Amino acid sequence: MSDALAPLFDALKAEFADRFLTSNAAREHHGSGESHLPAAWPDAVVMVETTEEVATVLRACTAHRVSVIPFGAGSSLEGQIHAPLGGISIDMSAMNAILSVREEDMDCTVQCGVTRQDLNEHLRATGLFFPVDLGAHATLGGMAATRASGTTAVRFGSMRDLVLGMTVVMPDGEIMHTGGRARKSSAGYDLTRLMVGSEGTLGIITELSLRLAGIPEASQTAMCSFETIDDATETVVMALQCGLALNRIELADTVQMHAINRYSKTDLPEYPTLWIELTGNAVTVENDMDILEGLADNARQFERAANADDAARIWRIRHSALYAARALRPGIKGISTDVCVPISQLPACISQIQAVIATTSIIAPLIGHVGDGNFHLVLLYDPEDATEVREAQHISKTLVTMAIEMGGTCTGEHGVGLGKKAYLQAEHGSALGVMRRIKRALDPDNIMNPSKIFDL
Amino acid sequence: MSDALAPLFDALKAEFADRFLTSNAAREHHGSGESHLPAAWPDAVVMVETTEEVATVLRACTAHRVSVIPFGAGSSLEGQIHAPLGGISIDMSAMNAILSVREEDMDCTVQCGVTRQDLNEHLRATGLFFPVDLGAHATLGGMAATRASGTTAVRFGSMRDLVLGMTVVMPDGEIMHTGGRARKSSAGYDLTRLMVGSEGTLGIITELSLRLAGIPEASQTAMCSFETIDDATETVVMALQCGLALNRIELADTVQMHAINRYSKTDLPEYPTLWIELTGNAVTVENDMDILEGLADNARQFERAANADDAARIWRIRHSALYAARALRPGIKGISTDVCVPISQLPACISQIQAVIATTSIIAPLIGHVGDGNFHLVLLYDPEDATEVREAQHISKTLVTMAIEMGGTCTGEHGVGLGKKAYLQAEHGSALGVMRRIKRALDPDNIMNPSKIFDL
């Protein structure tokens, strides 16, 4: 701890007692998370329990010009919770109360530290659920802050689309309520959407009102393989244009299918493969699956789940993908790319990056949320091997550059954090300057998660 | 014209020649529009044709500290195009080119002056359409600027949900591109959503990339009447929870049904009535209409359209509603309220405001986009009659106050303009201060449609 922090530490210790932590264990935990980036510890951690406590911390940090970094579950992938400039990590995980569920309105209000799994557990008896479906065990506040999405965005959109309103604490400790509970509003600037995806750089989200959906009566699942990614994409485009009751459309490439066969000891075709889930009422999903099978006349193989157990088996294969990928190089965690492009560009984007990968020693299985044009390559490289590091960086950079040139984005769902900062100028041009002006207007002392998304 | 404007006028005249207009006819047209508010003329009008020309006008207006008010079709209802402080009306209607349509990506890019009708006409052969459906013949730029929605928001959302990216000219003439063409992105602040609904107070939207939807293969329509608004709402809630393929759910109250019978010489039940449209493939809409009819077991009458002609007849009844309402008091145009509340609050909101209306001499038929909790009362009052003006203002104010207390908003789809400014403090509290800070950061000279949404 630098001497400059002493007065702030004294103030926070007086207020939070044993919920103010300066141990190396706490600092390490809060400065690492699941990102591939090197850890960057905060100077201390405060475990908050209420919106008012968040305001207390922010007022103190503003008074002492010390950075604040919000922390939910630590599952962000681009260093969003890192503290490269030190400062106070504000741990929201104890703010995990589900405040209200309004079944008739199909909405709920939760504290930011509630995870989506906990919310869905709580909702089960209501016949409703919260439809954003990630791999990570993330908090809803963190998911909003990074504009997360996942496998069901093709049906329900991302956090952008599902947050009705928020309570946000601004850097000076002012508590702001954005949005409301109306399904739509034209009353002024959309501060809810401004906060979604702002990664804690403008304010700290402490409560969220969220749209819910009805748990569907029925679902149908299919898994089908194609000669080429182009063929698979063509089927997806037709299914989207027909407005079928798609809930998930996931894509794996041949490298990923090979990894799955090795890992699961299966004998699946090692060709580009789609997993497709339709949800709705029984008649709709049956009928739409018939239509889909007709559209997929260029598939090598179209396997329709015979029943719920069979569907679960097919989805287990998909869910094993990341583990299967990593098992190709035991001990190597890999990092995940995250570009998203217009779907018409997807085959070209994938084939061009596969050509680049082929010039390197890197193995990089692909999984995609293909209905959105978003896909992840798991770049399996050894962080101790300088050549592999260079090759992985080359792949990542080439992919992002290509995606932006195709009208896409450097990050579909993981956010910018520290990891994607270098690409925002190319993606946004002069709009990046407008983002900076908003940042300066709302956080004039630059204490809110500084150095994330962009530098000032 | 004040002398202070002379140098700006000279500059604009030199640049735009006969597209720079100072005639009273042009000023009146651009300072009135369809709003009920008293006209407020701009000092002059510029007819622009390109984004660069918009930048030229903004640079000149910034240099001379003169206000700029964007004008599309003049169909806004809350005085968005009025010039209470004078200034330059910048008419975008000639920027009406459809720049590209990408069928595979189900998106398009248009100039801001394209109307949704023109776009849909252009798209017809592609099997795609743009799904926001308003009563007004509005431009897409204006619809984005006011965050418009209409009858199909229950299915497709509002302009908020359907704009992928924009070209926006900022007050200093800088041309900014927001968003992109990826279906989702987590790359920084959501400037697209900040501009949608900002009513020209931050920048001028000159181009938009929009999501499109597939024209559905089939539709089914029903019209059903209920003893009470509560019964009608209950059916709507169940239909929403079941995830039926709803495209439109419109509500009329008994006063509106009476107006329709008088106007159309029909004999429809004078009870709360729903119009419901399901769209999708033939099997889905047939099946979902069966489910819906089962859910609506509390309806007095459930009339299912026998065929497409019959459905068209039923929707003509709905589309005649505004004319029927006005015909109750010939010569009186009326003004439209626009609150939106959580759907659970809708019956109470409507019955409480009807009780208030009953204490006045005002006739006020109701039409609602009930799936969103948004409804309009047409307040038929004589603007020359002081008592009626006072009563209409009392109804409008009471309704907004009630809606905000119920967790709703003063405006679901018409925007704030001048007409709803008085309510934003009650609706947004300290968030209004944050909106003002953003305004000051992006438009430091306050030249962009000043005095709209809020005063500084």
E strands within B133-198?
163-169, 175-179
Q: Which residue among B105, B184, B430 places its CB closest to the CB of A153?
A: B184
Report the pLDDT averaged over residues A9-16. 97
SS3 of residue B160 by DSSP: helix
How do residues A223-245 score in pLDDT, each as one tens digit?
A: 999 999 999 999 999 999 999 99
SS3 of residue B344 by DSSP: helix
Please tell me the class of the A218-323 domain.
Answer: alpha beta
Any idea what DSSP says for residue B215?
A: P
Count of beta carbons in the 10 Å neighbourhood of residue B355: 10
Sequence ranges of chain B with CATH classification 3.40.462.10: 216-415
Sequence ranges of chain B with CATH classification 3.30.465.10: 98-214
SS (H, E, C) chain A: CCHHHHHHHHHHHHHHHHHEECCHHHHHHHCCCCCCCCCCCCCEEEECCCHHHHHHHHHHHHHHCCCEEEECCCCCCCCCCCCCCCCEEEECCCCCCEEEEECCCCEEEEECCCEHHHHHHHHHHHCEECCCCCCCCCEHHHHHHCCCCCCCHHHHCCHHHHEEEEEEECCCCCEEEEECCCCCCCCCCCHHHHHCCCCCCCCEEEEEEEECEECCCEEEEEEEEECCHHHHHHHHHHHHHCCCCEEEEEEECHHHHHHHHHHHCCCCCCCCEEEEEEEECHHHHHHHHHHHHHHCCCEEEEEECCCHHHHHHHHHHHHCHHHHHHHCCCCCCCEECCCECCHHHHHHHHHHHHHHHHCCCCECCEEEECCCCEEEEEEECCCCCHHHHHHHHHHHHHHHHHHHHCCCECCCCCCCCCCCHHHHHHHHCCHHHHHHHHHHHHCCCCCECCCCCCCC
Token pair belonging to A170: 């601004």
Q: Which residue among B147, B175, B438 places its CB closest to the CB of A186?
A: B147
Q: Which residue among B178, B197, B423 places its CB closest to the CB of A431?
A: B178
- Note the pLDDT of residue A1: 55
Q: Which residue among A183, A283, A412 places its CB closest to the CB of B340?
A: A183
| CATH dotted code for B216-415 | 3.40.462.10
**What angle, 0 to 180 degrees and rounded to 10, lies between the N-to-C axes of helices A229-241 and A346-358?**
160
| CATH dotted code for B98-214 | 3.30.465.10
Cβ(B43)–Cβ(B24) below 8 Å? no
What ipTM goes with this model? 0.97
Sequence ranges of chain A with CATH classification 3.30.43.10: 3-91
- From chain B, pick out residues whose CB is under 8 angstroms from the CB of A437: 441-442
Tell if the CB–CB gap between B430 and A175 is shorter than 8 Å. Answer: yes
Name the minimum distance, in Å, from the CA of A190 to any CA of chain B: 6
Q: What are phi and psi of A273, to 5 degrees?
A: -130, 140
Tell if the CB–CB gap between B182 and A374 is shorter than 8 Å. Answer: yes
Q: How far apart are CA B10 and CA B4, in angstroms?
A: 11
Cβ(A112)–Cβ(A50) below 8 Å? no
Cβ(A186)–Cβ(B144) below 8 Å? no
Q: Which residues pair with B109 in a beta bridge?
A: B100, B209
DSSP class per residue in B89-144: EEE-TT---EEEEETTTTEEEEETT-BHHHHHHHHGGGTEE-----SS--BHHHHH
Q: How far apart are CA B10 and CA B5, in angstroms?
A: 9
Tell if the CB–CB gap between A197 and B191 is shorter than 8 Å. Answer: no
Please tell me the class of the A326-423 domain.
Answer: alpha beta
Name the minimum distance, in Å, from the CA of B346 to any CA of chain A: 10
Nearest CA in chain A to B243: A214
Q: Identify which of A128, A174, A139, A133 has the alpha carbon closest to the alpha carbon of residue A151.
A: A133
| Contact partners, residue B330, CB within 8 Å, separation at least 6 | none
Confidence tier at A2 by pLDDT (50, 70, 90): low
Q: Identify which of B122, B210, B245 has the alpha carbon closest to the alpha carbon of residue A242.
A: B245
Q: Identify which of A99, A15, A22, A85 has the alpha carbon closest to the alpha carbon of residue A57.
A: A15
How do residues A113-161 score in pLDDT, each as one tens digit?
A: 999 999 999 999 999 999 999 988 999 999 999 999 999 999 999 999 9
- Residue indicated by tokens 């770049």: A379
Cβ(A431)–Cβ(A413) below 8 Å? no
SS3 of residue B426 by DSSP: helix
Q: Identify which of B381, B351, B443, B176 has the alpha carbon closest to the alpha carbon of residue A431.
A: B176
In the CATH hierarchy, which fold is given to the domain comprising A3-91? 3.30.43
Nearest CA in chain B to A343: B105
Name the minimum distance, in Å, from the CA of B22 to any CA of chain A: 31
Tell if the CB–CB gap between B409 and A105 is shorter than 8 Å. Answer: no
Which regions in chain B score pLDDT beneath 50? none
> Please, what is the end-to-end C-alpha distance for chain A in angstroms?
25
Q: Identify which of A69, A71, A76, A72 has the alpha carbon closest to the alpha carbon of residue A34.
A: A76
How do residues A193-203 score in pLDDT, each as one tens digit?
A: 999 999 999 99
Token pair belonging to A121: 């557990």
- Note the pLDDT of residue B33: 82
* Reduced DSSP (H G I as helix, E B as strand, rest coil) percent helix, strand, coil of chain B, to 5: 40, 20, 40
- From chain A, pick out residues whose CB is under 8 angstroms from the CB of B237: 104
Sequence ranges of chain A with CATH classification 3.30.70.2190: 218-323
Token pair belonging to B438: 């953003």
- Note the pLDDT of residue A272: 98
Q: Among A181, A184, A210, which would you mutate to test the B interface (most chain B Cβ atoms within 10 Å of its Cβ)?
A: A184
Cβ(A107)–Cβ(A123) below 8 Å? no
Q: Is the dihedral of CA A190, A194, A197, A202 positive or negative?
A: negative
Token pair belonging to B455: 């005063």
The pLDDT mean for chain A works out to: 97
Q: What are phi and psi of B285, to 5 degrees?
A: -70, -35
Q: Which residue among B213, B340, B371 places its CB closest to the CB of A182?
A: B340
Give exposure, B175-188, as e/b (b: 16+ Cβ within 10 Å): bbbbbbbbbbbbbb
- Note the pLDDT of residue B2: 67
Any idea what DSSP says for residue B421?
A: G
**What angle, 0 to 180 degrees and rounded to 10, lies between the N-to-C axes of helices B229-241 and B282-295?**
140
pTM, full prediction: 0.97
Tell if the CB–CB gap between A407 and B181 is shorter than 8 Å. Answer: yes
Q: Which residues pair with B204 in a beta bridge?
A: B169
The yes-or-no verdict on residue A106 having pLDDT over 60 is yes
Q: What are phi and psi of A96, to 5 degrees?
A: -120, 35
Q: Which residue among A128, A373, A430 places its CB closest to the CB of B182?
A: A373
Q: Is the dihedral of CA B381, B387, B389, B394 positive or negative?
A: negative
Nearest CA in chain B to A406: B181
The H or E element containing residue B439 is: helix B431-442
Name the minimum distance, in Å, from the CA of A55 to any CA of chain B: 14
Token pair belonging to B215: 């024209």
Cβ(A114)–Cβ(A98) below 8 Å? yes
Cβ(A64)–Cβ(A1) below 8 Å? no
Give Cα B165 to chain centroid, integer Å.
19
